[in-house]
Amino acid sequence: MSTDIFFALCHALPACFTQQATATAQWHKAEAADVPFTEEATLANLPQLILAQHQYNFRLWHVEDTARRTDVDDTVIAKCKRTIDGLNQRRNDLMEKVDTCLTTLMTPALPRTHNPGLNTETLGMAVDRLSILALKVYHMEEQTLRTDVGPEHKANCTKKLETLVQQRAALERAVLGLLEEYREGRKTPMVYHQCKMYNDPSLNPELYKAAGK
């Protein structure tokens, strides 16, 4: 594989980020079935993998909204908490799979350099942040369109919306910049494993101690 993979990713990833925003609008109109994906590390599979990861953020966002209600029974909040734990686990799992796919694609084309630097954030983490920003942009824009609030609320939300749009565009540029650093050998990609413990009954002391009673 040649450095053409970096050129391909510079075109594929922005299209995936646009897809995050498009899907957000679509899923608010009609609930979507689970996004199908395969873990095979190919450029063709990457968009579906990123979209599947975004879908878990989408679902997580709305359950977290419900969890903050104060007019419902505690059993509803407890159910939300368990749902949030499961969704967050899958969100992180898929973020790692995005990183694995990207790293597998890039590694054969990386130049041999002496002690290349590491980035504080992986591409998969940036993809996750862009997913959340797509959700923030959508919901902040909703606030600017409300008819049951005053002009001050709309003005405040319009200003925040502008900030979110700018931040999302800046992060997209940063992703492309990181790809360039990988291509030039100034940085090296890696998969940052989250190693979440709270859902694992063998690692969460509250779970394994309770099971041993």
pLDDT score, position 171? 98
Q: What is the band of 201 on the pLDDT scale with cuts at 50, 70, 90?
A: confident
Q: What is the pLDDT of residues 108-158, one digit of tens each?
A: 999 987 778 989 999 999 999 999 999 999 999 999 999 999 999 999 999
Residue reference for tokens 């910049």: 177
Residue type, 149: V
pLDDT score, position 2? 53
Written as six digits, the tokens of 146 are: 């409300």
- Percentage of residues of the chain with pLDDT beyond 70: 98
- pTM metric for this prediction: 0.91
Q: Which of 67-71, 79-83, 160-164 has the highest mean pLDDT?
A: 160-164
Written as six digits, the tokens of 112 are: 């041999």
Residues 6+ apart with CB under 8 A from 178: 119, 123, 126, 187
- Which one is predicted more confidently, 190 or 174? 174
pLDDT score, position 213? 60
Query: Which pairs count as long-range contacts for 82-86, CB under 8 Å and 24+ apart, including other chains?
Result: 84/60, 85/198, 85/199, 86/199
Question: Chain-wide mean pLDDT for the chain?
Answer: 93
pLDDT score, position 115? 77
Q: Mean pLDDT throughout 161-183?
A: 97
Q: What is the pLDDT of residues 61-72, one digit of tens each?
A: 999 989 888 899
Nearest to 192 by CA among 101, 104, 125: 125
Does residue 1 surpass a pLDDT of 50?
no
Written as six digits, the tokens of 187 are: 């940085």
Q: What is the pLDDT of residues 15-47, one digit of tens each?
A: 999 999 999 999 999 988 999 999 899 999 999
